[in-house]
Amino acid sequence: MTSLLLAVVVAQAAQTPLTVANTRRTGATAAEGLAMASRVGALLAEANVPVAMSAQAAAAKLTQLGTKDAAICQGKKACELELARQLDVKVLVTVSLARLGADLGVGVEALRLDDGAVLATDSLLLVGTTRLEAERLAPFVGRLKEALGLKAPAPTPEKPVVLTPRAQEPPAVKPVPLPPAQAEERHVAGISLVAGAGACAVAAIVLGLLAADANAQRTRVEGGAWASSYDGAVAWTNRTNGLLTATVATGSAAIALGAVGAIAW
């Protein structure tokens, strides 16, 4: 892009040769006029304005052509356009000076040879020994470059970078830990206790049936040997009571084991 712009500037410089001359002075010397014309030419060149000939070279050429001092024009446009023709330039930037005590008034104007149009003009005051700086001449330079078509095209705005939000990943699902071995052991123990409770319950039922049977036999033999024998009656009673006690104990054990097994399960 930079090389392309440079090529355009070079081509335009070839098509629009330009130089600077001091064409009017009031109270200022010829040396001051040439120095100011040289300064304006240097600032134009620094701003990439196509200066085809320095102010010193233009003054030397005019001297060769018989015009020792361009200030002879005293600001007359026809005379200034004739100077441009003699210098073989398309545009002549004229510099006018006026000494105002210690200060110096400076006027600059760009004339186009083809039609005499004023492409740009400006005036400024340099107080004391103030030097002409680029920022003071910048308005004139800007207007001249625009008239010459040297304004660089506005930069194409860069497309804003659009950041696409990244899709959020679903949170990782942590696996449910397996129950510890202790819980499994308690489960097995619970099953065993419940099974034991069932066995005790069955035993209690069997013992209860035996006790009932013993009591029935005792009833059937009342009045017999067992009934007449004190020792036999006592033995029969003890047996019946023992069976009943075992039945109750076994039933209680079944209930207890069942409750503990249910809790452990």
Mind spelling out the 3-state secondary structure of 197-264?
HHHHHHHHHHHHHHHHHHHHHHHHCCCCHHHHCHHHHHHHHHHHHHHHHHHHHHHHHHHHHHHHHHHH
Q: How many CA atoms lie within 13 A of 130 on its CB side?
A: 15
CA distance 106 to 122: 8
Residue 235 has pLDDT above 80, yes or no: no
CA 157/CA 152 separation, integer angstroms: 14
Instruction: Examine the domain organization and report whether 25 and 136 are in the same domain.
Output: yes
Is 204 inside any structural domain?
A: yes
> In the chain, pLDDT over 90 holds for what percent of residues?
49
Provide the number of structural domains found in the chain.
2
| Boundary (domain end) residue, out of 96, 123, 147 | 147
Measured between alpha carbons, how far is 211 from 218 in angstroms, rounded to an integer? 11
Residue 2 domain-assigned (yes or no): no
Reading the block at residue 119, the tokens are 């492409």
In a domain, 32, yes or no: yes
Say which residue, 218 or 19, is predicted with more confidence: 19
- The answer to the question of residue 170 being in a domain is no
Other CB atoms within a 10 A radius of the CB of residue 126 amount to 18
Question: Is pLDDT larger for residue 151 or for residue 48?
Answer: 48
**In whole angstroms, how large is the CA radius of gyration of the chain?**
63
Q: Which of 8-12, 21-25, 127-131 has the lowest mean pLDDT?
A: 8-12
Within a domain: 129: yes
Residues 13 and 121 occupy one common structural domain: yes
Are 190 and 109 in a shared domain?
Answer: no
* Final residue before a domain boundary, out of 102, 129, 147: 147
Is there a single domain that holds both residue 198 and residue 253? yes
What's the CATH code of the domain at 58?
Answer: 3.40.50.10610
Same domain for 136 and 189, yes or no, is no
Decide if 185 contacts 265 (C-beta within 8 A): no
Q: Domain range for residue 202? A: 181-264
Q: Is the domain of 99 the same as that of 198?
A: no
Tell me, yes or no, whether 110 lies in a domain: yes
pLDDT band at 259 (very low <50, low <70, confident <90, very high): low
Summarised one tens digit per residue, pLDDT across range 166-193 is: 666 666 666 655 555 555 555 555 556 5
Q: Which residue has the higher pLDDT, 51 or 2?
A: 51
Residue 52 Cα distances to 8, 13, 71, 132, 204, angstroms: 15, 7, 21, 21, 131
Q: Is residue 168 part of a domain?
A: no
pLDDT surpasses 60 at 222:
no
* Residues 70 and 131 reside in one and the same domain: yes
Give the C-alpha separation, 138 to 131, whole Å.
Answer: 14
Query: Containing H/E element for 11?
Result: helix 2-15
d(C-alpha 7, C-alpha 202), whole Å? 114
Parallel, antiparallel or unpaired: strands 103-112 and 91-100: antiparallel
CA 70 to chain centre: 61
Tell me: do 29 and 116 sit in the same domain. Answer: yes
Q: Same structural domain for residues 143 and 234?
A: no
Q: Which residues pair with 24 in a beta bridge?
A: 96
Q: Which of 124, 133, 132 is nearest to 106 (CA)?
A: 124
Same domain assignment for residues 96 and 197: no
Are both 110 and 206 inside the same structural domain?
no
Helical (H) or strand (E) element with 265: none
Q: Are 134 and 258 within one domain?
A: no
Residue with tokens 């209680």: 252
Which of 127, 147, 167 terminates a domain? The answer is: 147
Does some domain include residue 155?
Answer: no
